[in-house]
Amino acid sequence: MRLRVAFVLMVCVSAAVAQSNQTKSDGGAWVGTWAASPFDGDPWHQIPTVVDSTLREIVHTSIGGNAVRVHLTNEFGKEPLRVEAVTVAVSTGTSSVDAATLHNLTFGNASSMVIPAGAEAVSDPVVMPVPASANLAVSIYLPLQQVSDVSVHSSAQQDNFIATGNHVRDASFTELVVTPSWYFLKGVDVQASDAKAAAVVAFGDSITDGALSTENANHRWPDYLAARLKANSATAHLSVLDQGIGGNCILIHCVGQNALARFDRDVLAQAGVKYLIVLEGINDIGSLHNPNRPDYKLTAQDLEQGLMQLVARAHVHGIKVFGATLTPYKGAGYFTENGEQIRQALNQWILTSGVFDGTIDFDKATRDPANPQMFSAQADGGDHLHPKDPGYQIMADSIDLGLFR
């Protein structure tokens, strides 16, 4: 009898070890390969029905790895969020996935989880080859429940898909709604095979978020930077995490929490961060033109103080910070001469103050030499505030890869 009990125990232990090994790999540290900054509600798009629905959300990896884990978010929800089932797979276009790569995700070995209001959840690791520069599909089924506010990254420049019911394991959706936003999804990490693997965070506003870039093409300047890093053997181990929010500000509430308020969540909490590029402040300046802020005042020194706070907080965590100059904006709807003076003073300070570990002169790269307050014709996206694809490429190409030593 004792032999039989011992045999049963041995079988159970062996099964547990085998199950555990499904979520372990021989890779190195966890590093973010994709990320987006969530915020409260969607200021630009009608929120679709997200309950009793499967959200199939498409993300673009920067570096690859041997295993994957996914970050879900309810950080701006007012109620607990019940997630019933989640899968990850390699996308093959639109809502379709490669069924051979489809994996269930678990949370503490359970297929479902309730994410408290104000919290996020990280899935258990899944061993699967994650290619670099590829699209993954993360599918999330939310059962019927009260959802009075969503945690969302709006205007993703990426089509995502919603189908009624639980379709997380379907190879494609037959009846679907297309949405331009990422809901309840904030990050994907990989276990990289390169021991030197690390992440570069691009932190900013709509210019970093890729406004006016071609949808579904991954033509934001952080995407172009990721491609350059991958093509260079000395930097191929670096990922790029785009933490831009369209309409974001450094010091005041514009769209999403201000940069100082969201910094811990969107930068310091990311896996494997070693470098940070900061391009932010044009919306603080543009708010001087806002009639709904009659008492609003701003100086270049105010923005400098805010940026110094970001640098100091990053340095506590051993992160090198590169300051990027603000791009031209004459002709944009909120341009003012006073604002232009602030932009130029701030740019001069970024380049000469010595506060940053390095600088990137996006202003010089994108301006019209004959009229330096404006974008060049090649860079201008048409609204005189955002670049188009060639302008984003110009920005990425202007970055000295020697910064990432």
**Digits of tens for pLDDT over the chain (405 positions)?**
443 433 333 434 333 433 443 445 555 799 999 999 999 987 778 899 999 999 999 999 999 999 999 999 999 999 999 999 999 999 999 999 999 999 999 999 999 999 999 999 999 999 999 999 999 999 999 999 999 999 999 999 999 999 999 999 999 999 999 999 999 999 999 999 899 999 999 999 999 999 999 999 999 999 999 999 999 999 999 999 999 999 999 999 999 999 999 999 999 999 999 999 999 999 999 999 999 899 999 999 999 999 999 999 999 999 999 999 999 999 999 999 999 999 999 999 999 999 999 999 999 999 999 999 999 999 999 999 999 999 999 999 999 999 998
> What pLDDT is recorded for position 18?
37
* Contact status, residue 52 vs residue 164, Cβ threshold 8 Å: yes
Q: Which burial class, exposed, middle or buried, applies to 329 when counting CB atoms under 10 A from its CB (0-12, 13-18, 19+)?
A: buried
Q: Is 321 left (phi over 0), alpha (psi -120 to 50) or beta?
A: beta
Q: How far apart are CA 136 and CA 154, in angstroms?
A: 19
The whole-number pLDDT of residue 24 equals 52
The whole-number pLDDT of residue 27 equals 56
Quote the CA–CA distance of 173 and 160 in Å, as a whole number. Answer: 11
Residues near 26 by beta carbon (within 8 Å), at least 6 away in sequence: 66
* pLDDT for the residue numbered 43: 76
Residue 26: its pLDDT value, please?
Answer: 54
Name 116's Cβ contacts closer than 8 Å, sequence gap at least 6.
74, 80
Asked if residues 383 and 391 have their Cβ atoms less than 8 Å apart, the reply is no
pLDDT at 4: 42
CB atoms within 10 A of CB 42: 18
Phi, psi of 9 (to 5 degrees): -60, -40
pTM (2 decimals)?
0.93
